[in-house]
Homo-oligomer: A and B are copies of this chain.
């Protein structure tokens, strides 16, 4: 959990997760979306991977990264539960989420 919160405490890393939410991308694809150098992005990717939030797979010359959504949702929901065990807003929020998912045919 420590590593997950550490990983999330960075805007570029949260941005990377957002990119990976919709598609699998290569390290280069991701780096191209940032101003900073490729090694800097590579370091962010390994922070995210060490936190268990993403997974890398080498295919040929490329390294593809994809999101592991369960890791994120489990840690964050688990944490909310721990700190706010009687959270009315969460209840409302989870209802809203369930509604959205029903709409999107899930």
Contact = CB atoms under 8 A, between A and B. Distances in A.
Interface of A: 2, 5-6, 8-9, 11, 14, 17-18, 21, 67, 69-70, 72-74, 76-91, 93-94, 97-98, 100-101, 104, 106
A69 B94 contact: no
Task: Give the copy number.
Answer: 2
A14 B87 CA distance: 17
A75 to B, nearest CB: 10
Contacts of A9: 5-6, 8-9
Contact of A83 (B17, B77, B90): B17
Contact of A18 (B14, B82, B88, B97): B82
B87 A73 contact: yes
A40 to B, nearest CB: 19
Given A9-B6, A80-B76, A69 B91 contact: no
